[in-house]
Structures are given as C-alpha cells and as structure tokens.
C-alpha cells in the first residue's frame, strides 16, 4: 500500500514539472504543440484553430477563426501624430499579423513641422500655385509665384513694373486708357465754336482711339449729322435735349451761323462727378462713415470731407503721442498681436473666397492681418487660409463603405482639400464586403483537414483546402482500385473480402485431411487453405489427424455454432464411426448463431455512409461494433465557436446580417399571385447555410422553411433578394431571385425568420394582429391587441382604407431589432419588391443650405426635368443639373443684395427661360431680380424692381410673364414682363413705405367669369390680413382683417371656388374666392387640445381639388407637431389630426393617388391618402440642417428637398416616391404653376 502511494506522488511531481496541457504535450495551459513549438491556436495565424491551419494574407486569427483584417490604414500611408505638430506616424504591419496599423510617433528633424504626414520647414505659402502671376498692391507691376529662397514654401518674386500708361490686371499689364470712339475713321461735328468735323483715330501716344484731326468746313457750309459739311442744314437734336460727352455734357440749341439746332460745346463736370443722361451726378462714394477713425502711419485718420467733392474720405491725420501706437483707430500704450506667426493665413471672416496674411503691415511692433483681401481664383473657395477648387467633403475621415464586391475608404485621394472616397479595393473571390470590411464568404464542407469519407463503395474523398478560398471542402473522388472497397467506418480503402474463419491458425477437417485458417491469397482476409492430408491410417477429427476418431459433436442431427457467423450440422460425414461437423451455413444479415440456431440480434439504425448532426457532433453511419448492423458513430465534434449543420461544422454566427426587408403575406388573390418576401444584405453574399422559416403564432412551431443554399444576394439590385410564389404573376417572377411553392406564408399572427444553420435566428418579423395567447417570434415586443401597425393583411386593411398590404423597412434598411420601430405598412402603390422602395435617396448634392423650395425648368420636347434652382443660406443662386448633380454651380448676387425668396421660373416653352427671385438688402439693394439661368447674372436692362424693400415673397408669374410679389414695408406689386410697374397696392389703413410685411407668396386664380384674381396674406404683430386684388388692375376686391396672428402662409384655391390660408393664431381660414365671404365651417382650429397657440410660421395649406370636395393638407409648427388632412364639400369640414414625432417644417406636396409628403425634423415622411405613414426617408442631418423648404414632387416619382444649413450640411436630396405628383391645378405649393414648379401657368 505504501509503495503505491509513493508511485502516485512521483507521477504527480512529474506532471507538475511539465505543466498540464496538450495531453502531456509539455506546453503551458491553453497551448498546443505544433511542429515541436508550443502555440496558442486561438490566436496563432499559422495554426489557427489547429496545427497547420494557416490564415491567409490579410487575415488574423481570433477565437480559433481566421477573420479579415480591420486595417487602420493603408501600407506606407503617413499622418501627423495626434496632439503634436512635429511628429509623424507611418502605416505598416508592425506585429507580423499582415494587418496594417499606425506605427510609433517619429520626430521631424531640424525644427521642421508635420503637415499632412510630411515634415517640412515651418513656413507658409504666400501664394497658391508655382508659376501663378499676381499684381502688386499698387497695381504698378506684377509678381510670379515660386520658390525663390531656401525654404520649401511658395513666395512672390520681386515685382516687374508695367510700362507707361499701363496697370496690372489679373497678373497682366494692360493699358489704362479707354477708347473714346467706337471705330477708326468715324466722323462727328466738332463742338462750337469750331465749325467743322473731327475723325476717330489714334491722335496721341497711347494705344486708344480718340476724336481729333479737326477739319473746318468751307465758308457758307456747316457741319451736319455724320460729320459732313453742307450748305444746307438739318437739326441735329431737339430743343432742351442734353447728352453726355467726354467728361461733361452738351445741350441742344443754335450755336452757329445757320438756322438749325446743333449741339453746344462740352461743359465739363466736376472732378468728382460723371455725366449720366446729360446731367452731372456725384460719382464718388463714401469711403467711410462720419467720425470713423483708422490707423495710418504714426497715428490715425478721421473720416470727413476734406476735398471739393461731397463724399467722405479719410483725412485730418492726427499723430499719436510718443510711446503710443494706433490700434483700431485709437492711440494706445501698446499693441497686441492680431495673429500669432508671420506668414500665417486665414480666410476672409465674412465668408468670401479670399484670404488675409499675418504680418506687420502698419508700422507698429505687432502682427496683424493684411487690411486688403487676396481673392482666390474663379471657381475656388478658401479653407484654412488656402485657396482650393470649390469642393465638398464626400465622407468622414476613416469611414469605410462597400462598393460592389470591394471597399473604399474616406480620405484625401485627390489634389483638393476635401475628403473623398479612395479607389475600390476589391475583396477576394471568396469574400464579400460587409460594413466596409471583406469577410469570408464561404463555410467549411467538412471539419478536419485530412479526414476521409466514402463517396460510394469503391471511392472516397479527402477533407482539405483544394481551391483558392480559405474554407475546407471535399476533394474530387479518389478511386480505391481493383480488389479494394471503401470502409465507411474509416473512409479508407480496404480489400474487398470477408473472413471465412475467425482466427488465424484454427484447423478444420476437410475431406481426406484438414485445412488451416490463415491469409493464403495476399488479401487482408482470413480463409481456409493449406490443406493437409491425413496419412498412416489416420483420419481427421476435430481438425487433427488421429489413429482413432472421436466425436466432433455430441448428437447427430443437431446443429453446432461455428463462432457467431453460422452453424454446422452434426453427423457422420466421413468413413470413420465418429460424429463430424458438416459444412457451415452462414446466418443472415443482422443474425448470429446461438445454441446452433441463427437468431436476430440487431437492426440497422441508418444507411451506411450517411451523415448527420447530433448536437455539436458530426456523425457517420456504419458498423462500428461486433454485430453486423449499422449504427451512428461520431466523426468529430465542432469547437466552441462552431455549430453543426448539414453534417458539417460551420461558424456559430453568420458572416454578416441578412434581414427581412419587406413582405406581402396576404393579397386579394387566393393563389399567391402577388405575395413575396424580400431579404436584404451585402450584395454578392453567398446564402449557403441561410434559410427562411415561418413560425406559427398558434403554438410557436415551425410550419415552413425555404433553404437558400447555392443562392447569392444579387449585386445588380444592391443586395435585395426577392422570393415569390410559384403561382406569382409573371411580372413579379421576372424580377424574382427565387420562385418557391412555400413562399405564400400564413396570414398571421405568425412570424418569419432568417435563420443561420438550423436554429440561429439572424432576423425576425412578427406580423398580423396579435392576441394574448399567440406566440410571438419576432423582434422586440409583440404589439398590443389594439395595435394594428404590423397587420398589413388585405382583409383587415381594404375595408378600412388603411395603408396596408405590405410591411417594409425604410429605404436605408434600418434595423434596431424592434419590429414596431423598424417596419411600417405600405399601400399597394408603395410596395417595392426587389428594390429599396420609396424613401430611397437617389442622389444628394451640397448646395450650401437655405430655406427655398426647389424649382425646376424642363426640356421642352419631352418635359423632363433640366435644372434645379435653389437659394442657399448665403443668399446665392444655386443651379443643379438634375441628371448630373455634381455639375452644381452657385452664383453670387449683385453687390449689396442677398437673395431671400424661392426661385420662380418663367418657362412658356417658346421664349428663353428666366428666373425671378426676391432679394433682401444686405447693404443697399433689395427688390426682385430677373436672372439669366445660363449665367446666373441679372438680365440687362431689367430691374431690380422695388429695390428699396426687402422681398421674401416668392414671385408668382402670370401667363403673360408679369410678376406679383409682396414686400416688407412697400406693399404689394405687379410688374409687367418688360419690367414696367403696373401697380403698387397699399391698403387704405397702411402707411406707404412702412406697410405691414407681406412675406406670403401670392396665388393667382382665374374664375369661371374669366377674371383673374391674386391672393396673399399679410403679417402683423397682433393681427393678420388676407387680401384679394383684381390681378390685372390692382383694385382691391376684398380684404379680411380678423386674424389674431400674422397670415404669412401662401393661400391655396380649390375647385369649389374657395381660398384657404393659415394664420399664426392657430387657425385655418376659408373664404369665397370672389366675394371674400367666410366659407361655412371655417375657421378650423389647428391647435385643438393645446393651451399654447399653434404657430403656422409660413406653412401653407395645400389642396387636391376634387369634383365634389377639396382635400386640404395643413401643417403647423410648435408644440403640437401636428398636421390636418381635411375634406371640405362646401358646407362642412371633416377630417382628423395626425401627429409627428418631430415638428413639421414645411408645407406638403400631393401625389397622384392622394398620398402626400411633408418634412419633419430629419425625415421626409410619406403618407397614404387616408393619413397613415407609408414610407419615409431619413437624411441623418442634425437639427441645424433640418429640412424647412417645401418638397417638390416631380414626374417619374421623385421628390426634391433642400436641407436648411450651410456647408457641409446644406444638402439637396432627390428621393424616390411611390407615384407621380398630383396633376390637378392647386395641388402644389401655390406659387408654382405646374408640377415642374416652374411658377408659370395661370
């Protein structure tokens, strides 16, 4: 006993010395010995998950699985170290895992700084591009941009002076003179008292033409028009007429000896004047404001009139006392630096495309910014003090997205200053891109490399990596060869034979002797052979040659078992007198011999060679015990991060997520004609091991499964995979990816799940109307029995008119794992099998924000959209080509103005297209401009009209090209197409020049009598008005003054002859369009149930006129976040209020089927005609960029919206809509006349 204890202690000590692990491998815990080296197979790339399983380049080992690298950067890429201006990092594979990461920070040498990953001398470029030319500040010469010193920065060369009579313009020396006359050789009469003519030509040393070469007329002749001498005369002008000439003016009268009228000599204007229409007018402008001061030299100048002209200029210089310097026009004891480093640059703080440079420009000891701006070149913008081609960031730093079957990363990939996408890095053929990463897109067909499995009785295949992808698969069949067969228990080839006897060396009597059991024919089986003859009078008994015999068995006629294989009869079968055992009779399949009788001892559990999963075990069928029947045996067991599926170990989680995107489970047909299931995931993803199954809400059992093995998410449809029924309409089959008789799912309450392997639920949707006893297998919580938001069935929706028939995610496939939040019902027209559906953002373009509603013109032959016009947050005109939005251009308004209204487009399909837009006075000029869309410039000779007033009212354009608009303070105007004022309306109670604000955009409407009326709302602090004028004459027809808040919204007119307008007292008003009488049932309180007044804040009613009733959509701001969908039949208003989660920011727009769209917060919301949410688009903009302008609904089912923010959030979106726009008059924002929103049509 003592000895045994001692031995155990010794073994324990030995184990402690080598450590526990590897079944005595000698490796530390958690490691395995591979090729004689201890490794951690959970992280070792060369032995990932097991010895010899090497990961590919671009993969690392994690949790025993080879996964794609999440590269931090691209090899060789450089960046400046975070928080340092003189250190950089280089991207490389630093730890040998083939994944790219940023290296340690390295210091720049010699006092250099890091700039975009490169070390350079601490300097700043004075100019932008080598070889560029610029003018000196005094315009007397030019300089060239280049590197003229020892640093690596660009600077200006020494100036090259221009010649006499020249000045620098855009880096070129140009003559400073101007031609006084148009064509050499032209003649004109000389000014009195000279009686003769002058000739146009070059009469002095400069290169310009002037009048000269006086030639006197002969006696008796005078100079006539055209510069000819004649004895007869004609009047050259009309009495009192004045014209400008040279630096002054001439007057018509009789100034010579004839009797005809002619021009006087030139009366020169003062030096500060110019001639305009025959009169001298002040040409100077104030350089400053009275009393302003600015530093100059050793002191400061004071703004005043120091010369003969009437304008203000700097002068009256006052020197600062000793020890003081001038700062900001004041003498102070000491100065302060405005900037930190000489040569530093900044962009113009006012936002123009120009920059200032830091330096000592005023003679004091401090640094300041240059007082003059250096303008960027045309088409450039300023960023961080550097002029760059105008561009916009396409993405965010470090962001990665999939593109086809590859990925691209956000960075600076070109020469501009903006972020853009890199070129696509393609994934390997066995990978698919998901969330910007290449992930393995295959699964193991088998579990262990080198494992063999019988294909049939005569061949086998081997588990291994036999192709380019990293997953294990079975090889092609390998033949066993002649005389061989495949052993299903091992998968190896064995001889095609069976043992005739049980043990080598056994003897049995045979004929005249005995046979010996052994392998006598070179196969692997035992057989009787090597026959030995008994001699010398002996005979065989019990396998022995003996002189006298003995019985081999006990009783003749009985049977004796020969092992368990079979039995032999007992009898006298030779010449002696003893009992012998006869020839063996084998037992049947599944039997063995017991007491001389064959009895059944087993039955087959399975078919030999079959495989299955049993939990985590992969099992194969064969004879693995002493009987002859088949049973299951475990080939291998899956690891902890694997599951068994289809007798193969696969990853326990799918390579990426595939979701149920849309489903129509109950249509009005009975044979599955229109039902479908749509999945979505990364395009190109192989769907092996995925399936779609149905879970019965009554009991929770599986009632349906569609396997997706061998299928792929299509690249041509952006990963939308469509499953339809075998009885589907052919139009649905034409776009389907899989046709299945199982695609008609039950009508609810049930659930549909995307499953990985056998039971791993990847995504789920519960649908139908749910009760307390139903089994929910969707995501999130089941809806209450009264909540029908997931009940999209035909039977439950068609009767109520509710939006229904399909359940869908939004166009961005958002998935929060909560069905109630992720899915909403769509009407039949909004269902989108095979594509993202309504709400999909078709394109987006930075347009610098603003609150204008997009307006468009059209191509005249087929009425397709041509250009989109918006006004941005800076008050500039933006023009975006519809089919090429990246060709967007912006145009600066005339100096002193800022565009303030939406654009009205006049396009009568015969004359050129013109744009009308209101402007605010940023410094001097307001009114309305007429712009040429080809150049963005004002049309020459036209306006601006009403330029003394701010105009936020978008003009309405009549069919004759006349325009109507309101002003802030100046009343209401109509101007004819040629710019002539038709009238200016001010109500009797208004004070002209300080009238109430009219921001309301007017509406034109023609009555059955043929009279056209114009309607507009009027703002007010405590009261608002609605005015109707005769559009042609401006005569007041009627005026309502009873609103308790400003009426700033635009009126809408319905087919019943009623005009509707919303006011800031929280009410929607209705009037007879001709008489102004209040419409029955109005006003409607749009602030029901709320204590505070609901502000309309310019949100206008929109109507879809019907034959017997008008449908009116009204939205309002503030705490209620509501909208009203009303129906008015001429006597009563009916309808309900809907709620938004965000404040509605815009008026609505109607679709052809009565559906409508509005903006609320960061969403564009689409509703069915009955008022139920049917689709939406999420722009993702933050609150500063929420969309305020009204949507523009275009033919072809596209909605345009403009986000309200400056760069980078001010984006113009084109969003897919389910139907075309409503085409009835009055169905769009009323300052637009047709569904192109061109502004013309009444």
Q: In DSSP terms, which residues pair with 314 in a beta bridge?
A: 303
Strands (E), 1073-1115: 1084-1085, 1102-1105, 1110-1115
Sign of CA dihedral 633, 635, 638, 644: negative
C-alpha to C-alpha distance for 303 and 320, rounded to whole angstroms: 17
pLDDT class of 635 with cuts at 50, 70, 90 = confident
**pLDDT band, very low/low/confident/very high, at 365 (cuts 50, 70, 90):** low
Whole-number pLDDT of residue 13: 25
Token pair recorded at residue 524: 């692997």
Residue 99 lies in a domain: no
Residue 1170 pLDDT: 73
- In angstroms, the Cα distances linking 1232 to 7, 512, 1090, 1140, 1196 are 101, 120, 33, 26, 18
**Digit-coded pLDDT (tens) for 569-596:** 999 887 777 888 888 898 888 788 889 9
User: What's the CA gap between 147 and 129, in Å, rounded?
Assistant: 10
Confidence of residue 1073 (pLDDT cuts 50, 70, 90): very high
Whether 312 is covered by a domain: the verdict is: no
Burial of 814 (C-beta count, 10 Å sphere; 0-12/13-18/19+)? exposed
How far apart are the C-alpha atoms of 1146 and 454, rounded to whole Å?
71
Contacts of 845 (CB under 8 A, 6+ apart): 880, 885, 886, 888, 1211, 1212
pLDDT of 662 above 80: yes
- The pLDDT value recorded for residue 150 is 57
Three-state SS sequence of 154-212? CEECCCEECCCCEEEECCEEEECCCCCCCCCCCEEECCCCCCEEEEEECCCCCCCCEEE
Using DSSP's 3-state secondary structure scheme, residue 1199 falls into: strand
Same domain, yes or no: 535 and 456: no
1179 occurs within a structural domain: yes
Of 1139, 1234, 1240, 1142, the C-alpha closest to 1192 is 1234
Please indicate, yes or no, whether residues 952 and 973 belong to a single structural domain of this protein. yes
Claim to verify: residue 892 and residue 809 sit in the same structural domain: no
Q: Is residue 581 part of a domain?
A: no
Measured distance CA(1018)–CA(966) in Å, rounded: 9
Average pLDDT score over the chain: 80
What's the total number of domains in the chain? 7
Give me 515's structure tokens: 């046979």
Pair (1141, 1197) in one structural domain? yes
- Can you give the three-state secondary structure of 757-787, one letter per residue? CCCEEEEEEEECCCCCCCCCCCCCCCCCCCC
Three-state DSSP string of 563-611:
CCCEEEEEECCCCCCCCEECCCEECCCCEEEECCEEEECCCCCCCCCCE
Query: 103 Cβ partners below 8 Å, 6+ apart?
Result: 89, 90, 91, 92, 94
Is residue 9's pLDDT more than 60? no
pLDDT at 658: 94
Asked if the model's pLDDT at residue 696 lies above 70, the reply is yes
- For residues 892 and 911, state if they share a domain: yes
Same domain, yes or no: 1099 and 1192: yes
Is residue 1049 very low, low, confident or very high in pLDDT (cuts 50, 70, 90)? confident
Quick one: pLDDT band at residue 737, thresholds 50, 70, 90? very high
> 179 or 438: which carries more pLDDT confidence?
438
Measured distance CA(374)–CA(830) in Å, rounded: 54
| Least confident window among 316-320, 433-437, 563-567, 1205-1209 | 1205-1209
In a shared domain, residues 897 and 950: yes
Same domain? 1080 vs 944: yes
**pLDDT confidence of residue 1100:** 63
Three-state secondary-structure class, residue 346: strand
Max alpha carbon distance in the chain (Å)?
Answer: 184
pLDDT, one tens digit per residue, over 75-123 is: 778 888 887 777 888 888 877 777 888 888 888 876 677 777 777 666 6
pLDDT at 1229: 36
More confident residue, 25 or 539: 539
Whether the per-residue pLDDT at 7 is higher than 80: the answer is: no
Spatial separation of the C-alpha atoms in residues 236 and 327, rounded to whole Å: 60
Per-residue pLDDT, 402: 84
Answer whether residue 310 shows pLDDT above 80.
Answer: no
pLDDT at 1082 over 80: yes
pLDDT of residue 753: 97
* Mean pLDDT of the region 9-21: 27
Token pair of 99 as six digits: 């994944």
Residue 6 pLDDT > 60: no
The string of pLDDT tens digits covering residues 1117-1174 is 544 456 777 778 888 888 766 655 555 556 777 787 778 888 776 778 888 777 777 7
**Residues facing residue 160 across a β-bridge:** 142
Most confident among 894-908, 1030-1044, 1098-1112 (mean pLDDT): 1030-1044
Q: What is the pTM of this model?
A: 0.53
Name every residue whose Cβ is closer than 8 Å to that of residue 95 and which is 6 or more positions away in sequence: 101
Classify 1057 as helix, strand or coil. Answer: coil
In angstroms, the Cα distances linking 320 to 8, 296, 323, 326 are 104, 10, 8, 7
- The 3-state DSSP class for residue 1041 equals strand
Contact partners, residue 292, CB within 8 Å, separation at least 6: 302, 303, 329
User: If DSSP codes are grouped into helix, strand and coil, which group holds residue 276?
Assistant: strand
Distance CA 1053, CA 1006 (A): 10
Q: What is the pLDDT of residue 705?
A: 94
d(CA 570, CA 568): 7
Task: Report the C-alpha gap between 277 and 283 in whole angstroms.
Answer: 14
1103 pLDDT tier (thresholds 50, 70, 90)? low
Alpha-carbon gap, residue 871 to 852, rounded angstroms: 6
For residue 591, what are the CA distances in angstroms to 439, 586, 597, 1062, 1185? 54, 9, 10, 96, 84
Distance from C-alpha of 1234 to C-alpha of 1225, rounded to nearest angstrom = 7
Confidence of residue 1226 (pLDDT cuts 50, 70, 90): very low
- Domain C-terminal end among 251, 282, 313: 282
Residues 6+ apart with CB under 8 A from 226: 187
pLDDT for 151 = 62
| Whole-number pLDDT of residue 1237 | 37
Confidence of residue 146 (pLDDT cuts 50, 70, 90): confident
State the virtual CA torsion across 1170, 1174, 1179, 1181 in degrees, nearest 10: 50
Distances (CA, A) of 1221 to 519, 838, 1147, 1213: 91, 14, 15, 17
What count of other Cβ atoms lies within 10 Å of the Cβ of residue 1187? 26
Judge whether residue 1029 has pLDDT over 90: yes
DSSP for residue 46 = G
C-alpha span between 358 and 370 (Å, rounded): 6
Rg (CA), the chain: 47
Count of residues in the chain: 1242
pLDDT of residue 249: 85
Lowest mean pLDDT of 23-32, 338-347, 758-767, 981-990, name the range. Answer: 23-32
Render pLDDT for 782-838 as a digit per residue (tens, 0 to 9).
999 888 888 877 766 665 555 557 888 887 888 999 998 888 888 777 788 887 778
For the record, the structure tokens of 922 come out as: 């940023």
Q: What is the pLDDT of residue 1076?
A: 94
- Flag whether pLDDT at 380 surpasses 80: no
Residue 306 lies in a domain: no
Please check whether residues 897 and 965 belong to one and the same domain: yes
Q: How confident is the model at residue 25 (pLDDT cuts 50, 70, 90)?
A: low
Q: Name the more confident of 192 and 599.
A: 599
Give 492's Cβ-side CA count (13 Å radius). 4
Q: Say if residue 811 is in the same domain as residue 714.
A: yes
Contact 988, 972 (CB under 8 A): no
Pair (487, 506) in one structural domain: no
Looking at residue 915, its pLDDT comes to: 87
Q: What is the 3-state secondary structure (H, E, C) of 422-436?
A: CCCEECCCCEEEECC
| Residue 890 covered by a domain | yes
Asked if residue 515 is part of any domain, the answer here is yes
Reported as a single tens digit per residue, the pLDDT across 237-280 is 888 888 888 778 888 888 776 778 878 888 888 877 788 888 88
- CATH number, domain of 1194, equals 2.130.10.10
**Least confident piece of the model among 42-56, 570-584, 1070-1084, 1125-1139:** 1125-1139
748 pLDDT above the threshold of 50: yes
Q: Domain range spanning residue 723?
A: 680-696+709-830
- Mean pLDDT for 479-507 is 83
Q: What H or E segment, with its residue span, contains residue 730?
A: helix 730-733
Query: Same domain, yes or no, for 780 and 794?
Result: yes
Question: 652 to each of 44, 987, 1137, how far by Cα in Å?
Answer: 20, 78, 49
Contact 660, 677 (CB under 8 A): yes
Least confidently predicted of 291-305, 509-523, 860-874: 860-874
Q: What is the pLDDT of residue 228?
A: 85
Cβ within 8 Å of residue 11, ≥6 positions away: none
Over residues 687-694, the mean pLDDT reads 94
C-alpha 1006/C-alpha 1009 separation (Å) is 8
For residue 861, what pLDDT is reported? 44
Per residue, the 3-state secondary structure of 1013-1038, as one string, reads: EEEEEECCCCCEEEEEEECCCCCEEE
Report the C-alpha gap between 820 and 807 in whole angstroms: 11
Q: Taking residues 144-149, what's their average pLDDT?
A: 82
Residues above pLDDT 90, as percent of the chain: 14
Q: Is the pLDDT of residue 1202 over 60?
A: yes
Cβ atoms < 10 Å from Cβ of 704: 17
Q: Could you tell me the end-to-end alpha-carbon distance of the chain, in angstroms, rounded to an integer?
A: 116
- Closest by Cα among 672, 1233, 788 to 1004: 1233
The candidate with the shortest Cα–Cα distance to 1028, out of 1004, 992, 1049, 1044, is 1004
Is residue 344 situated within a structural domain?
no
């Amino acid at each position: 006993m003592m000895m045994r204890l001692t031995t155990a202690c010794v073994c324990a000590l030995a184990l402690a010395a080598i450590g526990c692990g590897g079944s005595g491998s000698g490796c530390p815990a958690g490691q395995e010995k591979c090729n004689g080296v201890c490794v951690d197979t959970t992280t070792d790339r060369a032995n990932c998950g097991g010895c010899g399983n090497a990961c590919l380049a671009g993969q690392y080992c994690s949790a025993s699985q080879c996964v794609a690298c999440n590269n931090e950067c691209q090899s060789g890429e450089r960046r400046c170290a975070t928080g340092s201006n003189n250190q950089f990092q280089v991207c490389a594979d630093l730890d040998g895992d083939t994944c790219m990461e940023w290296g340690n920070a390295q210091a720049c040498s010699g006092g250099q700084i890091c700039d975009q990953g490169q070390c350079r001398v601490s300097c700043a470029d004075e100019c932008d591009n080598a070889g560029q030319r610029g003018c000196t500040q005094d315009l007397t010469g030019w300089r060239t941009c280049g590197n003229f010193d020892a640093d690596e920065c660009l600077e200006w060369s020494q100036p090259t002076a221009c010649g006499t009579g020249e000045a620098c313009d855009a880096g070129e020396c140009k003559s400073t003179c101007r031609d006084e006359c148009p064509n050499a050789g032209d003649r004109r009469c000389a000014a009195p008292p000279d009686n003769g003519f002058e000739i146009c030509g070059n009469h002095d040393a400069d290169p310009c033409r002037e009048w000269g070469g006086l030639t006197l007329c002969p006696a008796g002749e005078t100079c006539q028009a055209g510069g000819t001498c004649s004895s007869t005369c004609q009047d050259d002008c009309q009495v009192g007429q004045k014209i400008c000439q040279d630096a002054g003016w001439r007057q018509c009268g009789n100034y010579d000896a004839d009797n005809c009228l002619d021009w006087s000599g030139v009366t020169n204007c003062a030096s500060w004047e110019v001639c305009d229409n025959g009169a001298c007018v002040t040409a100077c402008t104030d350089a400053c404001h009275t009393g302003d001061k600015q530093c100059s030299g050793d002191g400061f100048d004071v703004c005043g009139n120091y010369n003969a002209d009437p304008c203000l200029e700097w002068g009256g210089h006052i020197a600062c006392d000793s020890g003081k310097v001038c700062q900001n026009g004041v003498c102070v004891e000491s100065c302060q630096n405005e900037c930190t480093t000489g040569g530093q640059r900044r962009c113009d703080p006012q936002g123009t495309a120009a920059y200032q440079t830091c330096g000592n420009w005023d003679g004091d000891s401090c640094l300041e910014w240059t007082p003059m701006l250096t303008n960027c070149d045309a088409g450039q913008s300023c960023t961080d003090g550097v002029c760059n081609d105008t561009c916009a960031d396409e993405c965010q730093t470090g962001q990665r997205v999939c593109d086809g079957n590859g990925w691209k990363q956000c960075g600076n990939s070109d020469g501009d200053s903006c972020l853009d996408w890199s070129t696509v890095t393609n994934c390997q053929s066995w990978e698919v891109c998901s969330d910007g990463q290449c992930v393995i897109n295959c699964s193991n067909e088998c579990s262990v490399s080198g494992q063999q499995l019988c294909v049939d009785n005569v061949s086998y295949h081997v588990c291994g990596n036999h192709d380019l992808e990293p997953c294990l698969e079975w090889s092609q069949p390998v033949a066993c060869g002649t005389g061989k067969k495949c052993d299903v228990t091992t998968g190896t080839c064995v001889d095609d034979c069976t043992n005739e006897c049980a043990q080598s060396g056994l003897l049995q009597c045979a004929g005249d002797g005995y046979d010996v059991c052994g392998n006598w024919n070179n196969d692997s089986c035992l057989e009787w052979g090597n026959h030995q003859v008994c001699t010398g009078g002996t005979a065989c008994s019990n396998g022995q040659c003996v002189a006298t015999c003995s019985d081999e068995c006990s009783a003749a006629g009985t049977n004796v078992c020969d092992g368990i294989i079979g039995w032999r009869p007992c009898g006298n079968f030779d010449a002696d007198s003893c009992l012998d055992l006869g020839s063996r009779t084998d037992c049947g399949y599944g039997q063995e011999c017991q007491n001389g009788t064959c009895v059944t001892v087993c039955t087959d559990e399975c078919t030999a060679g079959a495989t299955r999963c049993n939990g985590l075990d992969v099992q194969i069928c064969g004879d693995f015990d002493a009987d002859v029947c088949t049973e299951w045996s475990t080939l291998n067991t899956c690891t902890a991060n694997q599951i068994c599926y289809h007798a193969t170990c696969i990853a326990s989680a799918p390579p990426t997520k595939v979701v149920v995107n849309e489903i129509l489970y109950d249509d009005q047909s009975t044979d599955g004609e229109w039902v479908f299931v749509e999945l979505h995931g990364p395009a190109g993803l192989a769907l092996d091991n995925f399936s779609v199954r149905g879970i019965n809400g009554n009991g929770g059992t599986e009632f349906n499964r569609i396997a997706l093995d061998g299928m792929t998410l299509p690249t041509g449809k952006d990963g939308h995979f469509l499953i339809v029924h075998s009885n589907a309409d052919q139009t649905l089959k034409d776009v389907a990816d899989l046709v299945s008789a199982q695609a008609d799912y039950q009508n609810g309450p049930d659930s549909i799940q995307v499953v990985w392997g056998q039971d791993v639920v990847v995504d789920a949707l519960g649908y139908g109307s749910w009760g307390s006893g139903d089994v929910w297998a969707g995501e999130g919580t089941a809806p209450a029995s009264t909540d029908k938001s997931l009940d999209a069935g035909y039977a439950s929706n068609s009767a109520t008119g509710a939006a229904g028939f399909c359940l869908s995610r939004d166009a961005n496939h958002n998935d929060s794992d909560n069905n109630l939040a992720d899915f909403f019902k769509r009407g039949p027209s909004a269902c989108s099998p095979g594509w993202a559906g309504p709400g999909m953002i078709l394109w987006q373009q930075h347009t610098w924000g603003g609150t204008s509603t997009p307006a468009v013109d059209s191509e005249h032959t087929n009425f397709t959209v041509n250009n989109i016009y918006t006004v941005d947050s800076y008050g500039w005109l933006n023009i975006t080509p519809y089919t090429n939005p990246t060709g967007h251009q912006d145009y600066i308004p005339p100096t002193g103005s800022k565009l303030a209204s939406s654009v009205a487009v006049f396009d009568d399909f015969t004359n050129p297209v013109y744009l009308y837009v209101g402007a605010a006075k940023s410094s001097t000029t307001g009114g309305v401009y007429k712009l040429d869309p080809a150049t963005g410039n004002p049309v020459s000779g036209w306006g601006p009209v009403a330029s003394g007033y701010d105009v936020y009212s978008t003009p309405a354009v009549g069919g004759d090209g006349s325009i109507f608009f309101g002003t802030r303070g100046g009343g209401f105007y109509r101007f004819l197409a040629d710019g002539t004022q038709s009238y200016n309306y001010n109500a009797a109670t208004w004070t002209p020049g300080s009238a109430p604000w009219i921001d309301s955009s007017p509406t034109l409407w023609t009555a059955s009598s043929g009279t056209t009326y114009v309607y507009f709302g009027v703002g007010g602090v405590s009261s608002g008005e609605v005015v109707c004028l005769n559009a042609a004459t401006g005569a007041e027809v009627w005026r309502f003054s009873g609103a308790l808040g400003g009426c700033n919204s635009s009126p809408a007119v319905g087919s019943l002859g009623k005009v509707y307008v919303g006011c800031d007292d929280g009410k929607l008003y209705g009037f007879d369009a001709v008489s102004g009488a209040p419409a029955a049932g109005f006003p409607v309180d749009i602030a029901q149930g709320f204590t505070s007044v609901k502000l309309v804040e310019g949100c206008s009613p929109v109507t879809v006129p019907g034959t017997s009733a008008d449908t009116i959509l009204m939205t309002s701001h503030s705490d209620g976040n509501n909208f009203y969908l009303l129906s008015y039949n001429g006597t009563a208003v009916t309808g309900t209020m809907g709620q938004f989660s965000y404040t509605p920011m815009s008026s609505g727009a109607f679709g052809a089927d009565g559906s409508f769209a509005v903006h609320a917060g960061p969403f564009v919301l689409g509703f069915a005609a009955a008022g139920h949410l049917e689709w939406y688009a999420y722009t993702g903009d933050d609150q500063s960029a929420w969309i305020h302008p009204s949507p523009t609904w275009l033919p072809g089912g596209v909605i345009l919206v403009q986000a309200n923010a400056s760069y980078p959030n001010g984006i113009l979106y084109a969003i897919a809509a389910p139907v075309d726009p409503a085409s009835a008059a009055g169905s769009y924002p009323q300052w637009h006349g047709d569904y192109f929103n061109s502004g013309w049509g009444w």
